[in-house]
Amino acid sequence: MPGADPREALADVLGALGATLRHHRDLGVAALPLSGDYLLGPEEALAAQERALQGCRKCKLCDGRTTIVFGSGNPRAEFVVIGEGPGADEDAQGLPFVGRAGQLLTRMLEARKVELRRDEVYISNTVKCRPPANRNPEPDELAACAPVLAAQLAALQPKVILALGSVATQALLHTREPIGKLRGRVHPYGSAVLIPTFHPAFLLRNPGEEYKRMAWEDLQLARREYDKRRTR
């Protein structure tokens, strides 16, 4: 019922569950064979999601891909990095951020006052298949792949999300504001916070030292938020 106290609703649900379990026990049921993603730890949940995604044809990006690039890193990471989509190297190897932009991302994460190792974090993209000629993913492709990213984030339960570039940031925050206006700030994102910054591929195009300084400031901000929020 709209406006009902959620604690009362939860108490009702738990009461009904208790009554059902007692009823089963009275019928002689000694054990319940439970299964489902909601009971899995993050390692198993992510592995199950990746298996289920194989052969996905939910958007037209499936036609040009070699490999689905699901994500990589620590399944227990509370710091998650989300980029735009796989490039040629990622498509060939099946891993995110392994080309030149990936090498720059590694250096950005390891920079002074950020000091995160790649194996401490989890890295993925908004779309899991390579857009042709590295174009931006289109709205229908982002929408088709959004549930995949949502399920990944639900399994990971991050505390800090670093969003790389305008495509990832706008998709995650459901906004059309430019990255220049969104970066430099902490955005609430469920029980996490999202910090946008420039995509390393943009920084590689050498837009100027000012942009690299801003990216470093964003990563330091993300690090400070991580130190405040991390539980592990």
For residue 215, the minimal CB distance to ligand SF4 (Å) is: 26
By beta-carbon proximity to ligand SF4, the closer residue of 172 and 214 is 172
> Min. distance of Cβ 142 from ligand SF4 in angstroms?
9
Q: Choose, by CB under 6 A, the member of 40, 47, 48, 62 that binds ligand SF4.
A: 62
The reply to whether 171 sits near ligand SF4 by the rule CB under 6 A is no
Residues 119-158 that bind ligand SF4 (CB under 6 A): 127-129, 141, 144-145, 148
Nearer to ligand SF4, 137 or 196 (CB): 137
Both ends of the chain: CA-CA distance in Å?
38
Which tokens sit at 25? 């026990």
CA distances, 31 to each of 13, 23, 178 (Å): 21, 13, 54
CA distance 124 to 118: 12
Distance CA 38, CA 50 (A): 15
Question: Residue 154 or residue 186: which is nearer to ligand SF4 going by CB?
Answer: 154
Shortest distance (Å) from residue 29 CB to ligand SF4 = 40
Q: How far is CA 134 from CA 89, 143, 167, 181, 201, in A?
A: 11, 18, 13, 24, 11
Residue 59 in contact with ligand SF4, rule: CB under 6 A: yes
Q: Work out which of 46, 68, 215, 221 binds ligand SF4, going by CB under 6 A.
A: 68
- How many angstroms separate the CA atoms of 14 and 33, rounded? 19
**Strand 187-189 to strand 192-197: parallel, antiparallel, or no bridges (unpaired)?**
antiparallel
Binding site for ligand SF4 (CB under 6 A): 53, 56-59, 61-62, 68, 127-129, 141, 144-145, 148
